[in-house]
Structure 1
Amino acid sequence: MRIIRYQDGLEQRMAAVTDKDKVYTLKDSDFISFLERVEKAGKTPLEDVNDLIRSTQPLDREFESLELLIPVDAPEVWAAGVTYQRSKEARNYEATGGKLDAFTFYDKVYDAERPELFMKSTAARTVGHLDQVCLRSDSNWQVPEPELGLVLNKRGDIVGYIIGNDMSCRDIEGENPLYLPQAKVWKQSCSIGPSIRLAETVQDPYQLQITLRIYRDGNQVVDESASTGQLKRKLDELVSFLLRDNIVFDGTVLLTGTCIVPPNQFTLAPEDIIEIEITSLGTLVNTAVMG
């Protein structure tokens, strides 16, 4: 079961979408209001949606015809780093100028008890499906990072899963680790969508395939896949560190790190089309443009 937001004339509406792509309109104006309402009703999100399906008829429109909007205005998007072996290798390559056998602080954090967590984005900097993501003007080595995102409520419960694109500047981060915020955070440097898969309907989040495809001038230039089963840390573990002495708001998204990094010689160019697909979550599509 997925939750979407779509444009309906002048109105924005929320809806639940079944695995058969039947669309049931929700009464809520946004996902955060949905979470607040179901909590007051003493229900889980899936219980509420199932009650709706039993009492109403599906929308008389094809799911593919809907103009999808960003499904949640996440007040904050956080991200975890170096949670996959592939990510550790890529960060070492950046930091050492290609010395793959060098031992760095990325090796240390990969094996440490405490994970790397950082603030990635705010609602004003985050875009959705079919929106544009921006390239930094002062970077010559930029890539998308496809990630499984956790949608949290204010208690830190994982209520849903979402696809995330954590745009990153490999040259800026590699030059100095203190430049991480500049390598990660700028306008339209984060994309999430196209829907939220309710956590109650995902049997095993460690058995999801993530695929990254990038197209340039109509040609596919990147096509790589990996599994969330390669994740070094448990999802609840990452959330537990985010909750330490911290405030988490309904609708907060925590990106869990990337297991796919394009080849070292690759950098995004304006008008590149980025597709990130995750099993049962859909496909998030964005176009890169100069900021």
Structure 2
Amino acid sequence: MRIIRFQNGAEQRLAAVTDEDEVYALSDSDFISFLERVEKTGATPLEDVNQQIRSAQPLDAALESLELLIPVEAPEVWAAGVTYAHSKEARNYEATAGKMDATTYYDKVYDAERPELFLKSTAARTVGHLDQVCLRNDSNWQVPEPELGLVLSSRGDIVGYIIGNDMSCRDIEGENPLYLPQAKVWKQSCSIGPFIRLAETVEDPYQLQISLRIYRNDEKVVDQSASTGQLKRKLGELVSFLRRDNIVFGGTVLLTGTCIVPPNKFTLAPQDRIEIEITGLGTLVNTAIMS
């Protein structure tokens, strides 16, 4: 079961989408309100949705015809780093100017008990499906990072999964680890969407395929795939560290790290189209523009 938010005339509505692509309007206008209401009833999100659609009729409009909005206006988007071996290798390449045999702090965090977690974005900086993501003007080496995102309740429970694009400046991060916020956080540097897949309907989140495709002038210039099965850390482990002495707002998204890094000589250019697909979660599409 997937959850979408769409524009319905002058109002915004939440809806449930079945595996048969039937769309059922829900009573809530946004996902955070939905979570707050469901938590008070004691039901699970899936139980609540099933109760609402049991005697309802699907919308006449097809899913493809709806104006989709960002599915959750996440008050905060956090991200985990160096959770895949490929990510560790890419970070080492950046930090050592290609000297892959050198040991760096990325090796240490990959093997450490404590994961790398950082605040990636806020609602004002986050965009959705078919929106534009921005390139920094002071970076010459920028890439998208396709990631599985966890949608959390205020209790820190994983209630859904979402596709995330963690835009990154490899040159800025590689120059100095203290520059991480500038390498990761700027306007429209994060996108999420197009759906939220309710966690109860995902049998095994470690068996999802993630694919990245980048098109330049309608020519495919990057086409890579990997699996969440390559994730070193458990999802619950990442959430537990985020919750430590911290406030988790309902609707917070935690990106779990990237297992796909474009070739080292590749950098995004204005008007590049970025497509990120994850099994059962759809395809998140964005176009890059200069900030």
Alignment map for 1:81-120 (pairs within 5 Å)? 81-120=81-120
Deviation at 1:60, TM superposition (A): 0.8
Residue 83 (structure 2) pairs with residue 80 (structure 1): no
Q: Secondary structure at the match of 1:205?
A: coil
Distance 1:252 1:18 in 2: 24
Distance 1:246 1:32 in 2: 19
Q: Which residue of 1 is the match for residue 272 of structure 2? A: 272
Deviation at 1:55, TM superposition (A): 1.7
CA deviation string 1:32-70 (max 9, x = no partner) = 000011111221000011111212111111111111110
Deviation at 1:187, TM superposition (A): 0.2
Q: Secondary structure at the match of 1:110?
A: helix
Q: Which residue of 1 is the match for residue 148 of structure 2? A: 148
Q: Give, as a single letter, the amino acid of the residue that structure 2 aligns with 1:239.
A: V
Distance 1:48 1:155 in 2: 18
Task: Output the TM-score relative to the length of structure 2.
Answer: 0.99
Distance 1:170 1:99 in 2: 15
Distance 1:49 1:28 in 2: 11
Q: Give, as a single letter, the amino acid of the residue that structure 2 aligns with 1:155.
A: R
Deviation at 1:8, TM superposition (A): 1.4
Deviation at 1:219, TM superposition (A): 0.1
Distance 1:175 1:41 in 2: 50
Deviation at 1:154, TM superposition (A): 0.7
Q: Percent identity?
A: 85
- For structure 1, the 5+ residue unaligned runs are none
- For structure 2, the 5+ residue unaligned runs are none
Deviation at 1:78, TM superposition (A): 0.2
Q: Secondary structure at the match of 1:276?
A: strand
Distance 2:18 2:38 in 1: 19
Alignment map for 1:138-217 (pairs within 5 Å)? 138-217=138-217
Distance 2:118 2:37 in 1: 30
CA deviation string 1:108-136 (max 9, x = no partner) = 00000000000000000000000000000
Q: Give, as a single letter, the amino acid of the residue that structure 2 aligns with 1:221.
A: V
Distance 1:289 1:174 in 2: 23
Distance 2:54 2:181 in 1: 47
Q: Which residue of 2 is the match for residue 222 of structure 1? A: 222
Q: Which residue of 2 is the match for residue 59 of structure 1? A: 59
Distance 2:256 2:3 in 1: 20
Distance 1:88 1:135 in 2: 23
CA deviation string 1:75-117 (max 9, x = no partner) = 0000000000000000000000001111100000000000000
Distance 2:174 2:249 in 1: 32
Q: Give, as a single letter, the amino acid of the residue that structure 1 aligns with 2:246.
A: N
CA deviation string 1:4-49 (max 9, x = no partner) = 0011122211100001000000110100000011111221000011
Task: Output the TM-score relative to the length of structure 1.
Answer: 0.99
Q: Would you identify which runs of 4 or more consecutive aligned residues in structure 1 move more than 2 Å?
A: none
